[in-house]
Amino acid sequence: MTGSWLLLYCRAGFEKECAADILEQTGRLDVHGYVRTREGSGYVQYFPQAEGWVRQREKIRFDDLIFARQLIHVLAELDALPPKDRLTPLMSAIRATKRHYSDLLLETADTNEAKSLSSLLRAFAVPLRRALEAESLIGHDQAPRLHVFFPSGTAALVGLSEHANASPWPLGIPRLKFPRGAPSRSTLKLDEAFRVFVPHPERELRPGMTAVDLGAAPGGWTWQLVQRHIRTIAVDNGTLDPVLLDSGIVEHLRTDGFRYRPAKPVDWLVCDMVEQPLRIAALIADWLVEGRCRRAIFNLKLPMKKRYPCVMDCHALMMERLGTARRSGRVAFRQLYHDRAEVTGYADCLPSRL
């Protein structure tokens, strides 16, 4: 692995949270550095001190980051690119990395400001790819991906991402199509959450499993469960889309989501209720330690200020509850593309071995 500093994509407006995220993780590895951010830019730059970086950089885990959409090790920085010939200096910089790559990703920030660069990227993509292919620099299956990121029309960052330690999607964004018949756009949040948090859906989202959806109405999350043929109890005082009831595998209960408990344990608990984050985290922890569910996906609506500390408090609360109950499991959070001022959480729980 080579790379002198890190580039992280994030949701515009969450640069401070993304910066706090990478500083927290590198701090745990005893690596010291600083971040450079600009509010609304959609990305964060992390510059480590040389001491300890070479030894620890491979321990940076993308899956442990909450607000980062992508993790890129920057290899070269180019300024003042000539508008009439960007290809020559870029190819020179890529050759100088002395590496081969599996694929090329030309990217810019996911912001309205950066949309003006989309035509440049489209026009530049074919010539750069052809030049790389001519020198056999891309097309190597096991190699990392090559990223060329344009913060502006005259500057570019050349970097790489490892397949096993990065998002699989360009810009870290899964392009999901809103499914016909789904009751609400919130359905895309659960669809994305399953793709992010469930590595083996054939085992973990099998037909015939059981689930509870707290705060279900109008049924966007229940719809995702129904599509996977999972029998679902939808809990909400609001109205559920009648099509879901027609499926024959959905039961609608008009009751308080905080008070409800199933008669038997279920495979999945999903929850998209609008409530204080700590209260949601405590509720999910209760279900896990009581053995009411095996796995849970839930949404936390974040406050306007201190958003990163809020998520850390929720994580600490859940881990403390699991530890007190002598239960082991995983608790993870990620700000998904389809989240807004919120994050999505995943948790599972297994009995501890005495």
CATH code at position 300: 3.40.50.150
Which of the listed residues 172, 199, 232 is the one where a domain comes to its end? Answer: 172
Residue 282 lies in a domain: yes
Same domain for 135 and 11?
A: yes
Which of the listed residues 114, 139, 172 is the one where a domain comes to its end? Answer: 172
What is the average pLDDT across 63-88? 95
Over pLDDT 70: what percentage of the chain?
Answer: 98
Residue 350: the pLDDT is: 67
The region, left, alpha or beta by phi > 0 then psi within -120 to 50, assigned to residue 273 is beta
The continuous run of DSSP H or E covering 331 comes out as: strand 327-334
Same domain for 156 and 229?
A: no
The region, left, alpha or beta by phi > 0 then psi within -120 to 50, assigned to residue 82 is beta
Residue 1: the pLDDT is: 38
Same domain for 143 and 192?
A: no
Q: Which CATH number is 15's domain given?
A: 3.30.70.2810
307 close to 20: Cβ distance less than 8 angstroms: no
Tally of structural domains, the chain:
2
Same domain for 145 and 194?
A: no
Same domain for 195 and 328?
A: yes
- Supply the range of the domain harboring residue 34: 5-172
Instruction: Select which of 115, 177, 189, 301 is catalytic.
Output: 301
Same domain for 131 and 197?
A: no
- Tell me if residue 84 is catalytic: no
Least confident range from 119-123, 144-148, 239-243, 270-274: namely 119-123
More confident residue, 51 or 231: 231
pLDDT 10s digits, 37-66: 999 999 999 999 877 787 788 899 999 999
Same domain for 119 and 165?
A: yes
Same domain for 203 and 167?
A: no
Q: In whole angstroms, what is the distance from residue 196 CA to residue 198 CA?
A: 6
Residue 234: the pLDDT is: 98
Kindly indicate the confidence band of residue 354, based on its pLDDT and cuts at 50, 70 and 90: very low
Average pLDDT, the chain: 94
Residue 14 reports pLDDT greater than 50: yes
At 211, phi and psi to the nearest 5? -150, 160
In a 13 Å sphere around the CA of 91, the CA atoms on its Cβ side amount to 17
Kindly indicate the confidence band of residue 353, based on its pLDDT and cuts at 50, 70 and 90: very low
pLDDT 10s digits, 314-340: 999 999 999 988 888 899 999 999 999
Same domain for 132 and 272?
A: no
Same domain for 50 and 130?
A: yes
Residue 341 reports pLDDT greater than 70: yes
Same domain for 336 and 249?
A: yes
pLDDT 10s digits, 256-283: 999 999 999 999 999 999 999 999 999 9
Residue 181 lies in a domain: no
Same domain for 198 and 116?
A: no
Residue 298 lies in a domain: yes
Residue 179 lies in a domain: no
Residue 182 lies in a domain: no
Residue 178 lies in a domain: no
Q: In whole angstroms, what is the distance from residue 159 CA to residue 43 CA?
A: 14
What is the average pLDDT across 132-157? 96
